[in-house]
Structure 1
Amino acid sequence: MSKDWINPLVREIPPSGIRAFVGAVDKDVVSLAVGEPDFVTPRPVVEACITALNQGAMGYTPNAGLVELREEIACYLHARFQLSYDPATEMFVTVGSSEAVDLALRTILKQGDEVLVPTPSYIAYTPLAQLHGGKVVEVQTSAREQFKLRAWELRRHLTPRSKVLILNYPNNPTGALMTREDLVPIAELAIAHDLIVISDEIYAELSYGQRHTSIASLPGMKERTLVISGFSKAFAMTGWRVGYVCGNNELIAAMLKIHQYTAMCAPVLGQVAAIASLRSGLSDMHLMIESYNQRRQWLVSALQDVGLPCHEPEGAFYVFPSIAHTGLSSEEFALRLLKEAGVAAVPGHVFGAGGEGHIRCSYAAGLPQLQEALQRIEKLMRLPLRQSS
């Protein structure tokens, strides 16, 4: 095959560092690598889809998504997060939140525009920004600051080419959460430097101890923020592929044009499931969140007990313990963990420079699975890790 057949930008993008560890899992491995709920979609939601299917719900929906779903999303965002969007002109439904991130970057970026990405960060942001001509500027966060983005650190990375700031709080992989007080100076910088903020809030519901605050709810931020979320994480609907994006009508209309030509619309049954989740699935969502909270508290304590320092995450369903004291890189530690202990976790370096010295463990796995994993990790930590196996 001629090398000229493949776009150089695509050729240069590395494969997913997460999937490399997920793909290595077999039946004898306890996996803490995947950010996927161990819960199934609640039965009333499934029944609503069976009914819709029996009634012939098999066709396309409007490009922007079912009107009923957009109206439900608008009501939900207003009630839960004090965000107000017109369901007709300021939002549309996407094929998962991932499509929304892609569409946002594809719509906004011109060649050479700088995209500010706080790291550690979700692995898709950097390659997607690069695919659409952006230059990624990593803004490193640290465990010392609970992995929160600080205004003084962001300011150091601003240039005349800075155009987009991507926020992902609650954060994957660290579980960090930004309070309103944390976000105010970030919003001030965004306004002063005319930044567009892409706020990926897929874990917004999974906040422990205090409710999530969207930067779009701050004064002057709604018009320059694209709020992205979906149903995969909090509603246990990963495979249904339903997300959404909200923002000012000019940006939304531009993104929708691309969506029309690429995805056309999100899957109709996924949209039906999303409507049912918002109308009758919130109690199930709260039960799942409480279960995650219990696992979170247990796992942080257990990791510290086996010798892996771990800050307490305030959101999402990940912990990000430090392995720096072992003398191994994050990839070396993760490989030994997989090969010698039979536990799959994700090395921190795949989440950007700020992730080295850590591993990501998901507590979306059930408590028995977590307990088995910790027993195996404890045995590994008793070994002389600095020596090659």
Structure 2
Amino acid sequence: MSTITPEELAATTLLRFATAGSVDDGKSTLVGRLLHDSKSVLADQLEAVQRASASRGQDEVDLALLTDGLRAEREQGITIDVAYRYFATPRRRFILADTPGHVQYTRNMVTGASTAELTVILVDARNGVVEQTRRHAAIAALLRVPHVVLAVNKMDLVGYEEKVFAAIAGEFTAYATGLGVPEVTAIPISALVGDNVVEPSAHMDWYGGPTVLEHLETVPVGQDLTHAHARLPVQYVIRPRTAEHPDYRGYAGQIAAGAFRVGDEVTVLPSGRTSRISGIDLLGTPVQEAFTPQSVTVLLEDDIDISRGDLIVPTADAPATTQDVEATVCHLADAPLTVGHRVLLKHGTRTVKAIVKDIPSRLTLDDLSSHPNPGQLVANDIGRVRIRTAQPLPLDSYADSRRTGSFILIDPADGTTLTAGMAGESFAAPQRAEAADDEAGWDF
């Protein structure tokens, strides 16, 4: 691979993607092979993996050790935590999340895929589509990951048979399409040998599609800014008070979606006050237009009371504010989430008090059935919740915006992240249970 110049790197697009699959399907080996064959591994990293492999009595280098960084992971031979890796080719930059395969670490898969634009789901060619494969496909559908790659691994162990690949690809594609996954690309690979990972396989001349890396480099990323809901969560108010800029008041943040232009009429939420953009500063330079994911400072024509946590949106495309949040959530903490649970809800840069009013249902990912009124959600559970917040929030539907349609629930006692939520998402239409009585001090 040729050396990438800083200019070429700056001009490339960014793809965030995650890997998923059952235990021993070869996720970490695929990631290691991808990094190794694309020349994205430093010499000292490779030497460390070679030493670790030798200490375990292995004749060949175990590329899975490039991502399984925790001691417990190496000892058990499994992935436990989400391992993030950053690499680049001349065509694109990548942020990769290697997620665990164990059922008990489903929450980690949710974490890794929550910001991904593509998910690679591995299947062992000897076993085909299994329960965990369907579980990961369901999570990808719930998280609205726009692109899914089915990597049928260990093709070398089934004699590189086309009919084995075709049967698995057909079964998975039908299942994922039924879940609403918009796009599935199936690729037969052998991560251990390197077939169709970076280089085309010499053993599968019946396959004419892209390699894994080729697909990652060419899949469309990003969204059409002309149709996105423009959103700017305010992170910081800039008031330098210098002789040079005595009246400067800017509102800084990273644009979550869409584009803003000088002259646009905007509304500040949740207050509902309106103004017009008089200027946009990008890295200290005035610009006429800025778009996601740029970090900018916006100046307004009117002096409005704006602080961290507010949301600047186009007046013509402002979301409704609400104190009653209905969402699909994945519970991440070991302690259960229960009806009446007092929490903090963080949406964008804003954090407010909230209380869990109802847990109407819990999703059984094995068969996508809904268990009504479970009363609580435990670690790795996915369910529907109804939450009442102390202050109104400008929540978008998660279907419209994965950034401004998502939130997390936090334990107010110690700051632990409890739950990740997707506003408006629904996997069932259960009957509403009677909400628990409000607790003193949390009656909203």
Does TM, normalized by the shorter one, top 0.5? no
What's the TM-score once normalised by structure 2's chain length?
Answer: 0.21
Higher Cα Rg: structure 1 or 2? 2
Q: Which has the higher strand share?
A: 2
Question: Normalised by the size of structure 1, how large is the TM-score?
Answer: 0.23
Higher helix residue share: 1
Structure showing greater relative contact order (alpha-carbon pairs closer than 8 Å, 6 or more residues apart): 1
